[in-house]
Amino acid sequence: MTPCSVTLLWPRGGGYSNNRPARTLRLAGLANSFFAARGMARKTTLYFQYHGLCQAVGSKHDCKSNQTGPDMNTTASSDTPDAFSSLQIQPASGYAGDVSPQLAHAWMQAGEAVLVDVRTDAEREWVGYVPGAMALAWKQWPGMAMNADFDAGLKAAVPSGKKVLMLCRSGVRSIAAAKRASELGMEAYNILEGFEGAADEQGQRGHLGGWRFRGLPWRQA
């Protein structure tokens, strides 16, 4: 398979040069949390999969670790636009922003965020769930009445200073939940595509996007 073409190379002293593309700096900022958690020096250059980041950017390449000198620039091949876009935060009204399933998973892995699954208990039971996610329904099945305990459950689930990521079936209820979390003073994000993604022409989910479609960890009861 083709080696992963995206690399992160840290400059001397840990600073960033002004001529680096903004998207590359965002990638570097995300990866830094992975490196720091493992005690890696900033002069080390690594391909994404060595720190679990190939999954974060949606890459299916066979990536290898690598090291170079300290004065190289941060580079990224132009043939990986999907990798860049999957790691960007999209602006939103009423909450911190929209993020891809890949970025949400990367934040979870780095310990930066709590993922809150706002689907109903029935959905998680029958369709599947994300290991390590907090189960807290936005609406209760049957009847889809609002969960009166949502605020209290959210406050108990999210430690101070951590991001909160909202996940639902296809990214609709999670927006409402993210807005409510923001009203409670949290840094809240909506996970685009949700767990199952949008329905296709046959009315079936799971083929056009979503947490499962992106190959991220999930289980079925």
Between 174 and 88, the more confident residue is: 174
The pLDDT-based confidence of 39 (bands split at 50, 70, 90) is low
Q: Which residues contact 178 (CB under 8 A, 6 or more apart)?
A: 92, 94, 95, 96, 164, 166, 188, 189, 190
Q: Indicate whether 12 pLDDT > 50.
A: no
d(CA 34, CA 37): 5
pLDDT digits (tens, 9 = 90+) for 109-135: 999 999 999 999 998 888 888 999 999
Bridge partner list, 167: 117
Return the higher-pLDDT residue of 124 and 189.
189
Stated as kind and residue range, the H or E segment containing 116 is strand 113-117
SS3 sequence of 140-201: ECCCCEECCCHHHHHHHHCCCCCEEEEECCCCCHHHHHHHHHHHCCCCEEEECCCCCCCCCC
35 — pLDDT class (breaks 50, 70, 90) = low
Query: Domains of the chain: which residue ranges?
Result: 7-85, 97-191
* pLDDT, the chain, mean: 71
Give the pLDDT mean for 59-86: 38
pTM for the whole structure: 0.62
Give pLDDT, residue 164: 98
Structure tokens at 84: 């860049």
CA angle, 31 then 35 then 38, to 5°: 145
Structure confidence at residue 27 as a pLDDT band (50, 70, 90): low
pLDDT computed for residue 170 by the predictor: 82
Mean pLDDT over 175-181 rounds to 98
- The average pLDDT across 67-92 equals 50
Name the more confident of 20 and 216: 216
Average pLDDT (178-191) is 98
For 148-165, what is each residue's pLDDT tens digit?
999 999 999 999 999 999
Q: Which of 11-15, 54-58, 86-90 has the highest mean pLDDT?
A: 86-90
Helix residue ranges, H only, the chain: 22-37, 53-56, 81-85, 101-109, 121-126, 150-157, 173-183
* Angle between helix 101-109 and helix 22-37 axes, rounded to 10 deg: 30
Question: Please, what sign has the CA dihedral across residues 108, 114, 120, 125?
Answer: positive
The contacts found for 17-23 with CB under 8 angstroms, 24 or more apart, are 17/73, 20/73, 20/74, 21/76, 23/76, 23/84, 23/88
| Integer angstrom CA distances of residue 8 from 32, 84, 220 | 9, 13, 36
Q: What is the CATH number of domain 97-191?
A: 3.40.250.10
